[in-house]
Amino acid sequence: MTVRGVVTMPTGISYAGDGIKFILSDPHGGPWSAILSYNADSTIYPVLFPGDEIEMTGYVGEYTTEDANMTEFWLVGDIEILNFEQALPDTPLVKTGDLRWPTTAEQWGNVFVKVENCVVTNNDLQYEVMEIDDGSGAVLVDDDSDSLQNYIAPPVGTQLQSVVGWIYHHYGSYADSTTYKIEPLYERDIVVGEGPALLTNASRSPQLPSSSDVVTVQVTAVTNRLITDAKVYYRVDNAASYNEVDMLMFDEAEKVFGGDIPAQAEGAFVDYYFYVEDEKGGVSTLPSDVNLKNFSYVVTDDNPTIRDIQYTHWANGESPFHGSTVTTTGYITAGQGYVTQFTNSGVSALPMADDSGPWNGIFILATPEQLAGLQYGQEVTVTGRVDDNYDEYWRWQKNTYIVADSIIAGDVSEPPTPARVSISDIAADHESFEGVEINLTDFSQIASINQYDITITNGSDSILLDDDCVPSEIFSITSNEYAVIGGTDTVGVGDYLDIVKGVYLFSYGTFKIEVRDGTDLGLTSATEPVVPMTYALHQNYPNPFNPSTSISFSLPEQTLVSIQIYNVRGQLVQTLTNRVYAPGQHTLTWKPVNLSSGIYLYRINAGDFNAVKKMTYLK
């Protein structure tokens, strides 16, 4: 292909062995906007400077270095310089924690980004310059640029005002978050200086407060300025306002501040955050955006329930027990066939619940030997650390786990009844169903068959259905056109699944229903189909669409149904159907023929019921 872009990293400055490399960017910048070009012949490229607008022809290749998979553009032919001194793309501001995992980091590959208010956390590394952290997770700074070969990293604890560099997907491991590195071009891209305090190392004692415990919270505040005010703000049971407690200097050498939150009643849900102000009026909080997240804990005089561990009113879904060691009891909600498919780095995950419905599921993370022999419905008591961000398990990183130290197995019986929920119930609050065993009430239609999963819809909302944890003879997604259930039943787009069960989890960047065994999917129900209580016309799916879309409607009784398609001028385009339908949910497919892009209306007349909805056709 032939591409045009602006040079952001010049030739000759970064290490390329005996070859040569540079970075080409879309002038609009942003995620996914840059690509690296390399050639083993150092004479093949002209001298290129930042701001050169060029056009080149080549092909895309993936260069693999251990866990890393670097996308590159390999030259075929010549490079034509079109313009000089063109504007460079804006440098986006990111968090160091954004650069640790593929789901958030890969979009920034080869893009110049900026991180601010970091602290040096390690400067004694074999191949890299240093490790930095802005409080969201550490990332490595590398010296791929020749101008940094003799750079001496600042001492550990030094605050950096900012670091600018391009993101290299290069020689590292997902197990310790070292795959992605920041590559500054010049020493001036690393700005050491004073600024608001960097708050890190938040802790509390005790980790699991009872109703008689005063909770001591601490934080490290690193800054070159004098701190004039330090507080912890807390509230109970999502109250409208916060209480404040002054923090004192606990350790001057280590710059540790701390304060006491008073004892609270059994069952109280406590939120808190740290606030520090310096002599120049600079303010720091931890978490950095206290409107999106606080630290939290639940006061309990007994072992916490699974709901205690899972529930939070914060949008990021982090457990109030994150980082704490707990003991809890529940029932296994998947058999061994599930766990054997769900492994990475020597550990496996198995879901458990202690009740049905939202917030009542969690995953045990343990070795296969620890989980061996556990059966569906078996009562277990698990002791271990709660972790919402288990580093070594990045493919399913954001689920809530108990990293098990011990598992005590009890009797096998019937576990809590799976939650009977609709697709719309789940779509309204994905986080609350994480780890929960569910049984869909919808007769779900297949909206699309994707490379790794299936999209199912009830006509209004959609979720994903996955086959990662079952062998192909139970459920296999074989192409973008069809899937096979039970080794015999082939289904495709437009078909209905009237039995869908499984465990809901976060997998590869999104939530999915994970099928566990052959009883979780079915094409024919063991009971009479559920008849809708009312008439309904559902939103078409997909929308916008090309080349076709599905239109679903529900009928509580047998009736004559007419559906017409109109353009925005009110002109009748097509009568999609005009016949008698039985009670139930029905779906029709509309594929426009010789029609222009734009908004269309579809109207249903069924008995005394009339409704109209909009849809958008994109050519």
* 173-230 pLDDT, tens digit each: 887 888 999 999 999 999 987 778 888 889 999 999 999 999 999 999 988 889 999 9
What pLDDT sits at residue 393? 63
CA nearest neighbour of 89 among 58, 117, 50, 56: 50
The pLDDT of residue 8 is above 70: yes
The pLDDT of residue 348 is above 50: yes
CA nearest neighbour of 583 among 534, 537, 526, 524: 534
Question: Residue holding tokens 């047998």?
Answer: 558
Q: Cα(73)–Cα(24) distance, rounded to whole angstroms?
A: 9
CB-based contact 274:296 (threshold 8 Å): no
Q: What angle do CA 50, 54, 59 make, to 5 degrees?
A: 115
384-to-9, 329, 364, 387 alpha-carbon distances in Å = 47, 12, 9, 9
Instruction: Note the pLDDT tens digit of each residue in 277-286.
Output: 999 898 989 9
Choose from 230-244, 280-294, 519-533, 565-579 the range with maximum mean pLDDT: 230-244
Q: What angle do CA 312, 328, 345 make, to 5 degrees?
A: 85
Q: Cα(514)–Cα(103) distance, rounded to whole angstroms?
A: 19
CATH code for residues 1-191: 2.40.50.140
419-522 against 536-617: fold identical: no
The amino acid at 172: G
CB-based contact 501:440 (threshold 8 Å): yes
Q: Cα(485)–Cα(511) distance, rounded to whole angstroms?
A: 21
CB-based contact 143:151 (threshold 8 Å): yes
The pLDDT of residue 448 is above 50: yes
Per-residue pLDDT band for 17 (boundaries 50, 70, 90) equals confident
Per-residue pLDDT band for 527 (boundaries 50, 70, 90) equals very low
Per-residue DSSP letter, 104? H
What pLDDT sits at residue 531? 65
**pTM of this prediction?**
0.67
Reported as half-sphere exposure (CB side, CA atoms, 13 A), residue 124 has a value of 3
Q: What angle do CA 330, 332, 333 make, to 5 degrees?
A: 115
Class of domain 198-298: mainly beta
Residues written for the chain: 619
Where are the strands (E) in 193-294, listed by range?
A: 198-205, 215-222, 227-236, 243-246, 248-251, 256-261, 269-278, 283-286
Class of domain 536-617: mainly beta
Question: How many other C-beta atoms lie within 10 A of the C-beta of residue 280?
Answer: 12
Structure tokens of 311? 């529930």
What pLDDT sits at residue 344? 58
Per-residue pLDDT band for 391 (boundaries 50, 70, 90) equals low
Mean pLDDT, range 284-292, rounded to an integer:
89
The amino acid at 30: G
Write the DSSP assignment of 205-218 as a string of letters.
ESSS--TT--EEEE
What pLDDT sits at residue 89? 96
Question: Residue holding tokens 């960097």?
Answer: 198
Mean pLDDT, range 316-333, rounded to an integer:
93
**Sheet strands side by side (includes 584-590):** 536-537, 549-555, 584-590
What pLDDT sits at residue 95? 95
With pLDDT > 70 as the criterion, what percentage of the chain qualifies?
Answer: 97
261-to-177, 322, 455 alpha-carbon distances in Å = 34, 19, 47
What pLDDT sits at residue 394? 61
278-to-129, 198, 300, 518 alpha-carbon distances in Å = 30, 11, 36, 61
The pLDDT of residue 315 is above 50: yes
With pLDDT > 90 as the criterion, what percentage of the chain qualifies?
Answer: 57
Of residues 375 and 583, which shows the higher confidence score?
A: 375
The pLDDT of residue 371 is above 60: yes
Q: Which CATH number fits domain 419-522: 2.70.40, 2.40.50, 2.60.410, 1.10.3470?
A: 2.40.50
Q: What angle do CA 289, 106, 340 make, to 5 degrees?
A: 95
Of residues 45 and 583, which shows the higher confidence score?
A: 45
Question: Residue holding tokens 């779900």?
Answer: 444
The pLDDT of residue 249 is above 60: yes
Q: Per 3-state DSSP, what percentage of the chain is helix, strand, and coil (rounded to 5)? A: 10, 50, 45
Number of helices and strands (H, E) in the chain? 5, 45
Of residues 390 and 615, which shows the higher confidence score?
A: 615
Of the candidate ranges 318-332, 382-396, 442-456, the one whose mean pLDDT is the lowest: 382-396
* Topology annotation, domain 307-386+403-410: OB fold (Dihydrolipoamide Acetyltransferase, E2P) (2.40.50)
What pLDDT sits at residue 525? 41
Domain definitions of the chain by residue range: 1-191, 198-298, 307-386+403-410, 419-522, 536-617
CB-based contact 110:119 (threshold 8 Å): no
Instruction: Note the pLDDT tens digit of each residue in 404-424.
Output: 999 999 999 877 888 889 999
